[in-house]
């Protein structure tokens, strides 16, 4: 196989911010950073971010304009050329309580239009916001946890256990057959005509390659051989996945979908795919998804039409 994802095309894998983890326990430094005039604060409510009016950038506010909420230190913008010290400009986030209004937008809407710096900020803070939302209590003893380490750890005052943010590894794969056709499937919950590559979570004690073979076989009955190539990765913090992309070659081509997650799966030639997309009877994954980039890597160029 000679397919590849275009470098830099994974919208949510871009980041230029130095996370500066060594500063997370330096309370004196953090307070000084929060007080600096050029410090910027991202606002997140649920899994949506505050954006500017035309929804092409994040709405980053000074600390004095930030509402109350869990405060998270995201890192240092070392290329800003300004800041409270030679360190650069500090960037924080505040988790806003309550339902977001129309001045907030989700990653699916804005992830593809943000620049590298803001895309990195967005994907980081949405992932942390989702983690905080489901770790209010200790999984060991049930006590309420406390936010420490500038928002990157929740500590249990009762049993002493510390809880850290996690990313769940998930494989996502474009499979080809001996005719160089691509295997795409439709989720049971999706409408007719909506297709994507196959994906699934990695199980405990399982290698990534084993997960590729298992998920493809479980969902479609298609057998994968030894030919599996890593293509790239992208965080998907909705709520906490790290998508690991692959291209794989099938050795058994009969399709037998599980009728649970997958309603139907088909082999598509490039001509098939182009014709269906152009006449509007087939919709591809959105532009910020790694699935879309895997398909385009196999197809050989960018495609139009998404959901």
Give pLDDT, residue 85. Answer: 54
Q: In this structure, what DSSP letter does residue 145 have? A: P
Instruction: Please count the CA atoms within 13 angstroms of the CA of 75 that sit on its side-chain side.
Output: 18
pLDDT exceeding 90 applies to what percent of the chain? 88
Give pLDDT, residue 260. Answer: 84
Give pLDDT, residue 6. Answer: 86
Would you say residue 165 has pLDDT above 80? yes
Give pLDDT, residue 292. Answer: 96
Query: What is the pTM for the complete model shown?
Result: 0.92
Are 237 and 126 within 8 A, CB to CB?
A: yes
Give pLDDT, residue 304. Answer: 79
In this predicted model, what pLDDT tens digit does every residue of 9-31 receive, in sequence order?
A: 899 999 899 999 999 999 999 99
Burial class (CB in 10 A: 0-12, 13-18, 19+), 121: buried
In this predicted model, what pLDDT tens digit does every residue of 107-144 receive, in sequence order?
A: 999 999 999 999 999 999 999 999 999 999 999 999 99
Count Cβ atoms below 10 Å from residue 206 Cβ, excluding itself: 15
Are 14 and 120 within 8 A, CB to CB?
A: yes
pLDDT exceeding 70 applies to what percent of the chain? 96
d(CA 145, CA 158): 9
Between 78 and 279, the more confident residue is: 279
Would you say residue 189 has pLDDT above 70? yes
In this predicted model, what pLDDT tens digit does every residue of 33-76 receive, in sequence order?
A: 999 989 999 999 999 999 999 999 999 999 999 999 999 999 99
């Amino acid at each position: 196989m000679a397919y590849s994802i275009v470098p830099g095309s994974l919208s949510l894998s871009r980041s230029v911010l130095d996370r500066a983890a060594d500063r997370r326990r330096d309370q004196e430094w953090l307070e000084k950073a929060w007080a600096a005039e050029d410090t910027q604060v991202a606002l997140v409510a649920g899994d949506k971010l505050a954006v500017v009016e035309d929804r092409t950038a994040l709405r980053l506010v000074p600390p004095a304009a930030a509402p109350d909420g869990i405060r998270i230190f995201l890192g240092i913008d070392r290329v800003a050329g300004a800041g409270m010290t030679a360190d650069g400009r500090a960037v924080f986030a505040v988790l806003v309580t309550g339902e977001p209004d129309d001045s907030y937008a989700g990653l699916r809407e804005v992830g593809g239009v943000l620049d590298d710096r803001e895309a990195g900020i967005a994907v980081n803070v949405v992932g942390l916001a989702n983690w905080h939302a489901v770790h209010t209590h200790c999984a060991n003893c049930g006590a309420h946890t406390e936010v420490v380490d500038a928002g990157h750890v929740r500590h249990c005052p009762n049993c002493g256990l510390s809880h850290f943010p996690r990313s769940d590894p998930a494989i996502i794969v474009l499979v080809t057959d001996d005719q160089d056709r691509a295997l795409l499937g439709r989720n049971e919950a999706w409408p007719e005509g909506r297709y994507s590559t196959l994906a699934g979570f990695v199980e405990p004690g399982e290698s990534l390659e084993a997960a590729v073979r298992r998920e493809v076989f479980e969902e479609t009955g298609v057998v994968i051989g030894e030919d599996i190539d890593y293509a790239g990765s992208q965080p998907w913090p909705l709520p906490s996945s790290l998508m690991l992309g692959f291209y794989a070659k099938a050795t058994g081509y009969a399709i037998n979908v599980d009728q649970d997650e997958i309603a139907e799966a088909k082999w598509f030639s490039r001509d098939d795919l182009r014709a269906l997309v152009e006449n509007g009877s087939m919709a591809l994954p959105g532009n910020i998804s790694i699935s879309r980039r895997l398909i385009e890597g196999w197809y050989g160029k960018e495609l139009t039409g998404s959901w």
